[in-house]
Structure 1
Amino acid sequence: METSINIPETKSKSNGKALAVGVQQPNRGVKKGIAIGDFILRLCAMAATMGAAITVGLADQSLPFFTQFLRFQAQYDDIPSLVFFMIANSIVTAYLVLSLPFSVICIVRPLATTPRLLLVIFDAAAAGLTIAAASASASIIYLAHNGNPNTNWLPFCQQYGDFCQAVSGSVVGSLIAGTLLLFILILSAFALKRS
């Protein structure tokens, strides 16, 4: 003997949208918090790269040689790695300024993945450029401070102390900016993973 129970169909009020059981919507609050943190870190990195580029561009020191009319001068454009350093930090600063609207889009629309993915790609390039420029300049600054007795290179910074201090500070600022860009990459990757 078979028994059947007839259950009438009920219409859902979801306007044709299927509701999946067990699927959770991503947490908008967490993504918005990550986007706000990204924006703040982006502003800090922009300030660090801008400060590094301006400091190295203005680093200049003159020393008299025998007379007042004959002088030795140290400028950033005398050292090619410092020229690369200033150009790279200027490029990264310009990129960070241009990336701010995309970061704002990520705050307003925290579930949007396209602007965040675009930022991840360019943030990786900016981090690489910043760290490469800072590393190249750090090696030259190390030689300027300590010299190399094996090749008879004398320490440059004994005479040009102000110039070396300004350039050393800008290299530290650029390394801080590179670290901030790496944190931005980690935050963005975490936000994309939670999509």
Structure 2
Amino acid sequence: MEGDSTTINITETPKERKGKAPLLAAPPASKPVAPKAPKGGYKRCLAIFDVVLRLAGIAAALGAAIAMGSTDQTLPFFTQFFQFKAQFDDLPAFTFFVIANAITAAYLALTIPISIVCIVRPHLVAPRVILIFLDTVMVALTTAAAGGAASIVYLAHNGNSDANWPAICQQFNDFCQEISGAVVASFLAVVVLMFLIVLSAFAL
């Protein structure tokens, strides 16, 4: 019939609707980007700690050398012909101890500028390698000096009955206290040097 119109309704199935993306879809939210840490930051911190440890090592080694080098004691009972006196230079081990710790203190003072260069240029490798090598040499030198002096201090405190070496610390009490403190300070310098080697290794 005229005037009648036929309309055809086309409905979308759920499967077809599921596959279509909306034209005005919201853009995916961007994840916040965390600010990157400056490169070499931890190496710069290690270099600063390196300088602090070198200052502490200077104090320990120099204190050990001064304490041992200024140690002497004279007993109050002596006559015109006999005088009981103890000095550090009476024993070669103590003389070597003073020289070795003085060298260690001077070395640590001379290497502070290299540590400062590592603070300014934390990515440099050559200064770290040089410091590791020289620090290892100083560990060997200082340990040898401290170990040799420690053995003499032990004999001074306890003696050796097999060798007929009497303990002298009962008479030279002040002398033994000072040399014992010097040996402890020297071993502290050894520990500081070991920490310096570990720091340089981490920085590399």
TM-score bucket of the superposed structures, by smaller chain? 0.7 to 0.9
Alpha carbons 2:60, 2:185 under 8 Å: kept: yes
Could you list the per-position Cα deviations for residues 120-147 of structure 1 after superposition, in whole angstroms to 9, with x for gaps in the alignment? 1101001111111000100110001000
Mapped partners of 1:128, 1:122: distance in 2: 10
Structure 1 partner of 2:98: 86
Alpha carbons 1:134, 1:175 under 8 Å: kept: yes
Structure 1 partner of 2:76: 64
Secondary structure of the 2:75 match is strand
Task: Give the TM-score normalised by structure 2.
Answer: 0.79
Of 145, 157, 178, the match for 2:190 = 178
Alpha-carbon offset, residue 69 of structure 1: 7.1
Mapped partners of 1:75, 1:173: distance in 2: 19
Structure 2 partner of 1:101: 113
Structure 1 partner of 2:162: 150
Alpha carbons 1:82, 1:137 under 8 Å: kept: yes
Matched, 1:163 2:163: no
Gaps of 5+ in 1: 1-24
Q: Which has the larger radius of gyration?
A: 2
Mapped partners of 2:156, 2:39: distance in 1: 52
Alpha carbons 2:78, 2:84 under 8 Å: kept: no
| Aligned length, in residue pairs | 169
* Identical aligned residues as a percent: 54
Structure 2 partner of 1:110: 122
Of 75, 78, 85, the match for 2:87 = 75
Task: Give the TM-score normalised by structure 1.
Answer: 0.82
Structure 2 partner of 1:38: 50
Structure 2 partner of 1:13: none
Gaps of 5+ in 2: 1-36
Secondary structure of the 2:83 match is strand
Mapped partners of 1:26, 1:131: distance in 2: 39
Alpha carbons 2:69, 2:88 under 8 Å: kept: yes
- Give the letter aligned to residue 187 of structure 1: L
Structure with greater strand percent: 1
Mapped partners of 1:177, 1:134: distance in 2: 10
Structure 1 partner of 2:147: 135
Secondary structure of the 2:153 match is helix
